[in-house]
Structure 1
Amino acid sequence: MTLYVESVKVSTHSGPNGGAPRCQHLRVPPGAEQGAPECAMCLILGLTWARLVVCLTCGWVACSDDSPGGHARAHYQETDHPVVGALETETAWRWCYVHGRAL
């Protein structure tokens, strides 16, 4: 899309329907096999989780940000693996930590 602001040509890159820019982090090659459906750190610490997510880079399963531990974000901070997805296979939800938004 090209905009003209005060006679200056400005190009923008956006997603479908003028949405936010497409996330380049989805181009990560498929990760390793998905881990067990549990947050290992929560089990060690005796915490419960609200929801589990899987790292799309390496298959690590951890609790989401709305869980007391927030171990998926800690995994991102430690490894720079940018995108997690819903653990449930029937859901296509994904989250990019770099952009801070759902994909």
Structure 2
Amino acid sequence: MNQESQAIDPTVPPSGTGCVECEQGGGWWFHLRRCAACGHIGCCDDSPAQHATGHAEQTGHPVIQSFEPGEDWYWDYTNKTFVEGPTLAPPNHHPEDQPAPGPEGRVPPNWPSKLHQ
């Protein structure tokens, strides 16, 4: 069994529909990422707080999958490369009516200037 397959549990559902830490702290996100090991939803590296990467660093869970509609790619932080993976437990993306950036009502009008790029 390789490292990627050990870092992916296809039976674990996502932790919610938005970034866990942003929801708790009143923040906002650009795009969402899902931990392939535990289902934690965190915000992407372009987002102000970069919670998905922080989760990977804190937990040692190296593989994420996009949690955006129409995207199913995986990323391995350890190897800094895209990897293949199985279909994860549903849902496989945030609700289609949930805006990106989001959540609605918390995104500042000047949000593009606040992205990490």
Q: TM-score, normalised by structure 1?
A: 0.68
Aligned residues: CA RMSD: 1.7
Q: How many corresponding residue pairs?
A: 80
Tell me which structure has the larger Cα radius of gyration.
Answer: 1
User: What percent identity do the matched residue pairs reach?
Assistant: 30
Contact 1:25 1:82 in 2 (8 A): no
Secondary structure, aligned partner of 1:59: coil
2:50 is equivalent to residue 70 of structure 1: yes
Contact 1:65 1:73 in 2 (8 A): yes
- Aligned-pair CA distance for 1:89: 5.7
- Larger relative contact order (CA 8 Å, sep ≥ 6): 2
Q: Which residue of 1 aligns with 2:76?
A: 96
2:31 is equivalent to residue 51 of structure 1: yes
- Aligned-pair CA distance for 1:52: 0.3
Q: Match for 2:5 among 23, 27, 32?
A: 27
Q: Which residue of 2 aligns with 1:41?
A: 21
Q: TM-score, normalised by structure 2?
A: 0.61
Extract structure 1 runs of 4+ deviating beyond 4 A. Answer: none
Query: Structure 2: where are the runs of 5+ without partners?
Result: 84-117
Query: Structure 1: where are the runs of 5+ without partners?
Result: 1-23
